[in-house]
Chains A and B, each alone.
Chain A
Amino acid sequence: MIRDLLALVRIYRDKLFLIFLILAMPWAWAFFWVPWWVNAICVAMVPVAAMLLIFHVLPPPPAARRAEDDPLGVPDAQIRKMRKMSLGVHTLLGRWSHVSDQSRASIEEVQTHVDEVIQISETSVVEIGEKFVAVTRKTRRQVEHALALLEHTQTGGGARRESRPLPELVAAYGQILDQVTANVEKVTETAEELERRHESVREDFKHVDTLLDQLSTHDSQIGMLALNSSVSATSANDVVSVNDQIRTLSLECKAHTRDIRRTLEQVRNQHQQTHGAVRQAVQQAREAAQFAGVEGEKLGREMLFNSQEVSETLSQIGALGNEIQKDINDIIVALQFQDITQQKLQRLKNPLLTDLLGSLRVIFDETRVLSNKLQGSGLVEGGAASRQAPAGDSAQGAADAPVPANEEKPSPQGPRRKGDEAVEIF
């Protein structure tokens, strides 16, 4: 009823003001002459009078006006029938709205998952970046340590200088070795000199032995001469001859004695020289040994310090290497998180598309049912369904699009967090 009234009002909308003006003129004329309750009744009766006027007094709208409002020229009965049909459209729109709400909820859920995945992915990327920065810094520190060690061992630079650089240490060792070698050569020369003097002493001793043999021979000859002179000396000439021989032998004995004394003096001198040379050699050897010991100890301390420094630096480099290895392991885990989230995103896309296509299919079915009803009612030509068909076919085709069989639903618990390693040996 109300809809009919509204339809008539819509038809006579350009004459409504005139109708109400005509109806209100008597009331306006009597407004100041009648009591208030009569006015109230008149005001209430104005719409009623308008309805009676429209439905029963005024002629039906002109054909031109009807044609303007209904270009197809559909009779009123069919219009009412179409109004009933519109109720079905309303129901369809309600279902459509419901399906749209479900689709929106699915999309929002997927959006939530995607946001979570993106957040985790971004966190992983940030973590990867931080780890790479840490690795870079540690590697740079390693290089700095290595360069400092290299500079320290090569040039001896640096603030905490407690030992000479290795080249200087090697040069110092070379100098010490040269000095020790020179001293050893001197000791060798001294030993050779001693050998020569020993040989000379041996020759002197041979000479002394020869002299002693001659003295012994002379002594025997003198004794024999003395015995012969005492036994067989018969004349003065013989005595003189024997005495001459004895004098000669005595002179030779004196000469040999002098030779022996001289030889012994030479031996004593050579012994003294040898003793001095030995003392000198011993002194040189002792000094060389002391020098080598002192310098060697100093160099040893410096090389020990250098080796400790190298060992300390190497241990620092090793510790940094372990930390780098740990960071690399963390990077590997973070990259896996990144890869897993990307795969999950990839797998989320197909269920979302399937849900949307299912919703489109439901809407298409409802639309086709409504189209069939409209065609069956005879109110419209069959163009509506034909206009719907291509979209429906495309939707149907899209809905039937194959989904890879291996694509599985994303895990409901979402991406796993780091440190949840699970290993199981069957």
Chain B
Amino acid sequence: MARILVVDDSTTMRQMVSFTLVDAGHDVVEAEDGAKALNTARGKKFDLVITDVNMPGMNGIDLVKCLRDLPEFKFTPILVLTTESAQDVKSRGRDAGATGWIVKPFSPDVLLATLKKVLD
């Protein structure tokens, strides 16, 4: 069982991700934008972070950069779950330090398989 931080401004999407992860036995903490996620993440230990890109306040790519600056998240896997599939946006995410990129809508099986691959 992993402790996972899910960041998305859409309540529906957060619920879908949480439903899938909790059903698979993981412990999920939710945040609705980058700034709140950063506040939640400070000083705490998470095994994985899943974040959206387009969010009010701090977007997902900035959040990845800020998390990578924190020593406790230097090697933590960070997955980006977004509708964006353009290569330049992916490149910005990879340069920011994202571990993987999943394009919405996600299939629960695909999400869990990706989680397993990343956590292993």
Interface positions of A (Cβ within 8 A of B): 329, 332-333, 335-340, 343, 347, 404, 406-408, 411, 416, 418, 420-426
| Bitwise interface map of B from 3 to 24 toward A, beta carbon under 8 Å scored 1, else 0 | 0000000101100100110000
How far, in whole Å, are A387 and B85 apart by their CA atoms in the complex?
Answer: 50
Given contacts A335-B16, A339-B13, A411-B83, contact A406 B105 (CB under 8 A): no
4 more contacts with CB within 8 A, not counting A336-B106, A411-B85, A425-B118, are: A329-B107, A335-B16, A339-B16, A416-B105
Q: B74 to chain A: closest CB distance in Å? A: 16
B10 and A339 contact, CB distance less than 8 A: yes
A340 and B54 contact, CB distance less than 8 A: no
Q: Which of B10, B93, B107 contacts A421 (CB 8 A)?
A: B107
Chain B interface residue bracket vs A: 20 to 34
How many contacts A-B (CB < 8 Å)? 83
Interface positions of B (Cβ within 8 A of A): 10, 12-13, 16, 19-20, 54-57, 59, 83-86, 90, 93-94, 98-110, 114, 117-118
Residues of A within 8 A of B93 (CB): 426
B101 and A340 contact, CB distance less than 8 A: no
Residues of B within 8 A of A332 (CB): 16, 19-20, 107-108
Q: Which of A329, A338, A425 contacts B12 (CB 8 A)?
A: A338
Q: Which of A407, A418, A420 contacts B103 (CB 8 A)?
A: A420
A416 and B83 contact, CB distance less than 8 A: yes
Closest to A419 in B: B107
Q: A313 to chain B: closest CB distance in Å? A: 25
How far, in whole Å, are A187 and B110 apart by their CA atoms in the complex?
Answer: 69
A339 and B12 contact, CB distance less than 8 A: yes
B100 and A404 contact, CB distance less than 8 A: no
Q: Which of B12, B19, B55, B104 contacts A406 (CB 8 A)?
A: B55
A424 and B101 contact, CB distance less than 8 A: yes
Q: A168 to chain B: closest CB distance in Å? A: 41
Q: A416 to chain B: closest CB distance in Å? A: 7
B103 and A422 contact, CB distance less than 8 A: yes
